[in-house]
Homo-oligomer: A and B are copies of this chain.
Amino acid sequence: MNRINALKQIAFEQKDCGFLVFNEYNMLYFTGCQGLACVLIPEKGNNTVYVYNVNYEQAKGEAKGFEVELVKRGENLIEKIAKQIKAFNIRKLAVDALSHENYRNLARKLRGETRLKIKGNLVWELRKVKDEKELELMRKAGELTTEGMRVAYEVIKPGVKEFEVAGEIEYAMRKCGCWGTAFETIVASGVRSAFPHGGCTEKAIRSGELVVVDIGATYHHYRSDMTRTLVAGKPSEKQKKIYDIVRLAQEQAYQTVKPKAKAGKIDAAARKIIEDAGYEEYFVHGLGHGVGLEVHEPPTLSPESKDKLMIGNVVTIEPGIYLVGFGGFRVEDTVAVRKGKAEKFTNGFYSLEAEK
């Protein structure tokens, strides 16, 4: 309910306002409940979740503090909401996200009596600042992810297949209580390690090849994100040299993470080191992104970002160098912005060499 009140404070400037939530993660954030059709938050009146029959009983049990409205077979959801909007006498309705078709449909049903505006950013203002309870779950998600990485270092050997490594990592995270993976596990070896989203295939890892392992555990809906780059067998001098640049870039950027830091400056701290080493054009993405209920959230850490870090932000720090035909390097941790020093939720395993 605190979250709803916070939303009302930033969303409702005057009377007769309402907020309609369609995004599934926003609904989860406000209600703690999955599988809803939408959530209506009026300035005055009961906060209401709309849910189809399939998830009705679960919502009744879990969406505490909300009216639970069943959307019956054959009932039109948009029509049903429009009726309630009129009943609540809402004149200004903000919506977090809508497809063009649903927007047009809802606008038509409201017949100009209610003004409709898309205001997705408002919910992000709330979601990007995690409270202590959220940070606790994300810390645990980070621990589970780190455990997965420990296993990656243990099992990566010449001859092992990429998907076998993924299987061992995910199994280890599950055994420690993980709820699932935060995104599709990446174990990309050889030339495919040069693709930041190289996936995970049937390919066997060969001795001396670079392997980019990018993994994340989910815990109570909260996610984590961690990447390490390692070599099965003995790394070459060139591999070591480039790895050290990426590792240094990551560490330097991490040192600049603090409240009020400009996201663009944190990106620049890493980019400068890669630039000085002559690899600037091979760092083909931003330095990082927020993490939370989703794996990609605000704030964004990139050269173009206008974001400023705030206490309670959780972001990734993940510089990379990708050489097509040779291989890729990325080192990533999930990091929380705290009052003093930033806190790493994922940590350790910074060696380029897999266990021998």
Give the nearest-CB partner of A56 in chain B. B284
Residues of B close to A53: CB separation below 8 A:
284-285
Contact B174 A163 (CB under 8 A): yes
Contact B284 A198 (CB under 8 A): no
Q: Which of A85-93, A125-133, A179-187 faces chain B?
A: A179-187
Contact A99 B98 (CB under 8 A): yes
Residues of B close to A35: CB separation below 8 A:
197
Residues of B close to A52: CB separation below 8 A:
285
**Which secondary structure dominates where chain A touches chain B?**
mixed
Q: How many copies of this chain sit in the oligomeric assembly?
A: 2
Query: A109–B97 Cα gap in the complex (Å)?
Result: 21
Residues of B close to A73: CB separation below 8 A:
303-304
Contact B163 A167 (CB under 8 A): no
Contact B55 A195 (CB under 8 A): yes
Contact A194 B99 (CB under 8 A): no
Give the nearest-CB partner of A102 in chain B. B100
Query: A196–B324 Cα gap in the complex (Å)?
Result: 46
Checking B34, B164, B181, B324 against A57 with a beta-carbon cut-off of 8 angstroms, the contacting residue is B324
Give the nearest-CB partner of A282 in chain B. B57
Residues of B close to A174: CB separation below 8 A:
163-164, 166-167, 170-171
Per-residue contact bits, chain A 194-221, to B (CB 8 Å; 1 contact, 0 not) = 1111111010000000000000000000
Checking B34, B102, B177 against A163 with a beta-carbon cut-off of 8 angstroms, the contacting residue is B177
Distance (Å) between the CB of A280 and the closest chain B CB? Answer: 12
Distance (Å) between the CB of A19 and the closest chain B CB? Answer: 16
**A103 at the B interface (CB under 8 A):** yes
**A178 at the B interface (CB under 8 A):** yes
Distance (Å) between the CB of A1 and the closest chain B CB? Answer: 23
Contact A184 B180 (CB under 8 A): yes
Residues of B close to A74: CB separation below 8 A:
304
Contact A197 B100 (CB under 8 A): no
Distance (Å) between the CB of A84 and the closest chain B CB? Answer: 21
Residues of B close to A101: CB separation below 8 A:
118
Distance (Å) between the CB of A73 and the closest chain B CB? Answer: 7
Contact B194 A57 (CB under 8 A): yes
Query: A200–B179 Cα gap in the complex (Å)?
Result: 7
**A322 at the B interface (CB under 8 A):** yes
Give the nearest-CB partner of A104 in chain B. B100
Checking B57, B100, B167, B195 against A322 with a beta-carbon cut-off of 8 angstroms, the contacting residue is B57
Residues of B close to A322: CB separation below 8 A:
57
Interface centre among A104, A175, A178 (most CB of B within 10 A): A175
**A277 at the B interface (CB under 8 A):** no
**A58 at the B interface (CB under 8 A):** yes
Residues of B close to A99: CB separation below 8 A:
97-100
Per-residue contact bits, chain A 126-169, to B (CB 8 Å; 1 contact, 0 not) = 00000000000000000000000000000000000001101100
A-B contact pairs, 24 of them (CB 8 A): A34-B197, A34-B199, A52-B285, A54-B197, A55-B196, A57-B195, A57-B324, A58-B197, A73-B303, A73-B304, A98-B99, A99-B100, A100-B100, A100-B103, A100-B104, A100-B118, A163-B174, A163-B178, A166-B180, A167-B170, A170-B170, A177-B202, A180-B181, A180-B184
